[in-house]
Amino acid sequence: MRRATLSFFELPAADPERLAAFYAAVFDWAAVEVPWNGPRYLRLLPPDSGEPPGGGILERDPDDASGEGSLVDRLTVMIRIEGESLESALDRVAANGGRVLLAPTAIGEFGLFARFLDPEGNSLGLWTARPGADA
């Protein structure tokens, strides 16, 4: 039987150390060097949520040529935020060299979404569920 599952994400970086420092400052994620024969590789260690990663397909906004006002205009890694506001996380993003593209925006009755670019230009989204809504 054929099967394909999501495994993990990789973020390209010209300066892996700088990008690892960004994620440590913003989300408290550790990074460890992985020895191998290829380019430098730092593995990020976000906390285990206990649930498998998922995915979705979101239609692009045809009226937004730059994509910067869109919810998502390119592959975007989503990070669920719990225990603090999206604004607090976005403040750390901006303070550590990232660029906020979308302030927290309500997504129906489900929750709030925000989007930013890390210092290397990788697109990431932040999500928080509204109380009582499915995460």
How many structural domains is the chain composed of? Answer: 1
Domain membership of residue 120 (yes or no) is yes
- Provide the domain limits for residue 75: 16-49+70-129
Instruction: With CA atoms as reference, report the closest residue to 97 among 13, 6, 4.
Output: 13
Give the CATH number of the domain where residue 113 resides. 3.10.180.10
Instruction: With CA atoms as reference, report the closest residue to 18 among 118, 127, 131, 123.
Output: 118
Q: pLDDT tens across 63-115, in order?
A: 776 656 667 778 889 999 999 999 999 999 999 999 999 999 999 999 999 99
Task: Give the predicted TM-score (pTM) of the model.
Answer: 0.85
